[in-house]
Amino acid sequence: MSTIIGAETTTKVEARPRGKMIAYWTVTLLLAAAVMLSGIGQLMQLGGNIELVTNLGYPIYVLTILGIWKVLGAIAVVVPGFPRLKEWVHAGIFFLMTGAALSHMFANDYGDYGFYIILPLSYAALNIASWALRPKSRML
């Protein structure tokens, strides 16, 4: 009878709280869905997007540019890998949404109960939460 004595190999498994992972995916999927739907609406020029943009003094073609960026950003946030791209997407969404809120404020176009300010700022908050809750594999 032979005895094999070997070194134990241990793998350090990073335990991540399940609640934090659920929170990350909930917030990230909600953000991606909101940005995707917004981008599609802008590309199709639905739901008063033309009036919204013209009231701010922007040309109509801005809808196409923003719509493409939003759709691509929503996809990039949820696909696996590409941590640097995800960092850029989170920065872009933050600047896009805070810029939208500021554009409405400067144009005195608040909407009913400040909706045109509150909605983009809530998207920016979702974006910050998604970024803050991201797993180690998505960090640089």
Q: What is the pLDDT of residues 42-85, one digit of tens each?
A: 999 998 899 999 999 999 999 999 999 999 999 999 998 899 99
CA dist 58 and 41 (Å) reads: 17
pLDDT over threshold 70, residue 21: yes
Tracing tokens 């176009």 back to the chain, one arrives at 109
In a domain, 95, yes or no: yes
In a domain, 4, yes or no: no
Q: SS in 3 state form for 59-93?
A: CCHHHHHHHHHHHHHHHHHHCCCCHHHHHHHHHHH
In the predicted model, what is the mean pLDDT of residues 104-112? 91
For residue 14, CA distances in Å to 18, 35, 81 come to: 12, 31, 18
pLDDT over threshold 80, residue 40: yes
The domain in which residue 82 lies consists of 18-132
In a domain, 75, yes or no: yes
In a domain, 39, yes or no: yes
Asked if residues 98 and 120 have their Cβ atoms less than 8 Å apart, the reply is yes
Domain count, the chain: 1
In a domain, 8, yes or no: no
Helix (H) or strand (E) holding 131: helix 115-133
In a domain, 140, yes or no: no
In a domain, 66, yes or no: yes
In a domain, 10, yes or no: no
Residues 6 or more apart in contact with residue 63 via CB below 8 angstroms: 42, 43, 45, 49, 50, 53
Please tell me the predicted confidence (pLDDT) of residue 111.
Answer: 84
